[in-house]
């Protein structure tokens, strides 16, 4: 099968022929239909987050089940599915307390002594984040996917596999935004726009979008933003505090930078909660004014929207089908696998929300 392989940090992905194994116990072979090009792919490709190489990239995808291994009960051949990088074991402390996105069990991967799922000329290829969806097929644990209704458009479904769940989930699951509250979202890429959409679904009374690109701020209004702040023209912290008479109840950082993470905390009112969604590079520290903690302001992280994806993703599909979740507007273009490097460069520029690789 064809796949986009990262062999060296900072270098373009290479389209290569690779071999994929047959499903064993609890494994599912999926024919990839669509894969979103996500900023997390860029973070790993440029070395901000180390990963073993060579690896087949990609982690935001949808597809159709082709074959299942023994003991698989959740899906069957022909099912339409969304994949999720936060594969879970189902019985560790995190899973049993409802925090499946935190599960770090290696049970969802093959044992070191077993045949690799992905190989090339008998040499192992590393699977990226339990998925490797920049490929014509995926071989994954059954706890890394969920069945969805057949009439859900597959390109839209792919976005739910990471960016949408990360953004909407951070609002609903991690921060638990209350109806009528004030919200600020810093960064209006795919994740930030999804957080804005999630805040609207949660019933936030005022949603302030912060970005430096006027086109993204206009798009944010489509997703539910009631106000916008151009951080290239004004100090976003001062602007948000002034607009809300003291700061917001909830803020969300959806870029992954030291300065914006600190801004998300500074724009809170007393008792406010800042949630950092963006992937701040390894080795980066953020600084807070200690006295601000006396006002019961707090800052927290969110991994993949604190998802319970077997439950959350079908619900998000229903939100889309009901017109509440805006996925059509997230897709800037459909591309081929061979265009993946251009898409990643475009994503780094910060000008587009999502390009989606289509395999059919």
Kindly list the catalytic residues: 38, 40, 43, 59, 162
CB-CB contact of 137 with 66 (8 Å) = yes
Angle at 239 between CA 234 and CA 242, to 5 degrees: 150
Which pair of structure tokens corresponds to residue 197? 């959409």
Q: What radius of gyration do the chain's Cα atoms show?
A: 20
Backbone angles phi, psi at 254, to 5 degrees: -125, 35
Backbone angles phi, psi at 149, to 5 degrees: -65, 145
- Tell me which H or E stretch contains 95: helix 93-96
Token digits for 235? 């100090």
Of 169, 148, 196, 138, the residue nearest 329 (C-alpha): 196
Give Cβ neighbours of residue 322 (< 8 Å, ≥ 6 apart): none
Please check whether residue 162 is in contact with residue 192, taking contact to mean a CB–CB distance below 8 angstroms: no
Residue 267 contacts residue 184 (beta carbons within 8 Å):
yes
DSSP 98-117: T-GGG---GGGS--TTSPPS
137-141 and 27-36 strand pairing: antiparallel
User: How many Å apart are CA 288 and CA 265, to the nearest integer?
Assistant: 8
Tokens of 6: 């990262």
> 110: closest CA among 144, 157, 76?
144
Alpha-carbon dihedral sign for residues 241, 245, 246, 249: negative
Q: Is 165 helix (H, G, I), strand (E, B) or coil?
A: helix
Q: Is 330 in contact with 190 (CB distance < 8 Å)?
A: yes
Pairing of strands 227-230, 248-253: unpaired
């Amino acid at each position: 099968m064809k796949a986009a392989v990262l062999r060296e940090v900072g270098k373009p992905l290479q389209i290569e022929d690779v071999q994929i194994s047959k499903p064993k116990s609890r494994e599912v072979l999926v024919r990839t239909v669509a894969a979103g090009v996500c900023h997390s792919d860029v973070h790993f490709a440029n070395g901000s987050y180390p990963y073993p190489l060579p690896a087949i990239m990609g982690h935001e995808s949808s597809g159709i089940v082709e074959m299942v291994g023994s003991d698989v009960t959740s899906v069957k051949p022909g099912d339409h599915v969304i994949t999720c990088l936060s594969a879970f074991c189902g019985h560790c402390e995190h899973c049993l307390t409802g925090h499946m996105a935190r599960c770090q069990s290696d049970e969802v991967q093959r044992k070191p002594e077993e045949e690799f799922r992905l190989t090339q000329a008998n040499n192992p290829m590393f699977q990226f984040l339990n998925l490797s969806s920049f490929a014509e097929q995926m071989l994954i644990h059954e706890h890394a996917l969920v069945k969805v209704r057949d009439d859900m458009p597959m390109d839209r479904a792919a976005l739910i596999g990471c960016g949408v769940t990360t953004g909407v989930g951070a609002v609903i699951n991690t921060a638990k935004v209350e109806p009528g509250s004030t919200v600020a979202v810093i960064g209006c890429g795919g994740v930030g726009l999804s957080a804005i959409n999630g805040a609207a679904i949660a019933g936030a009374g005022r949603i302030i979008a912060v970005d430096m690109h006027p086109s993204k701020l206009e798009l944010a209004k489509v997703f539910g933003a009631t106000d916008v702040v151009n951080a290239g023209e004004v100090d976003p912290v001062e602007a948000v505090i002034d607009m809300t008479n003291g700061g917001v109840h909830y803020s969300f950082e959806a870029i992954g930078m030291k300065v914006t993470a600190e801004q998300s905390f500074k724009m809170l009112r007393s008792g406010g909660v800042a949630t950092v969604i963006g992937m701040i590079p390894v080795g980066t520290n953020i600084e807070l004014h200690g006295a601000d903690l006396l006002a019961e302001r707090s800052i927290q992280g969110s991994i993949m929207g604190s998802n319970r994806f077997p439950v959350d993703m079908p619900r998000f599909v229903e939100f889309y089908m009901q017109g509440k979740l805006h996925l059509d507007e997230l897709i800037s273009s459909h591309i081929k696998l061979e265009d993946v490097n251009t898409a990643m460069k475009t994503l780094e520029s910060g000008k587009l929300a999502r390009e989606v690789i289509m395999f059919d």
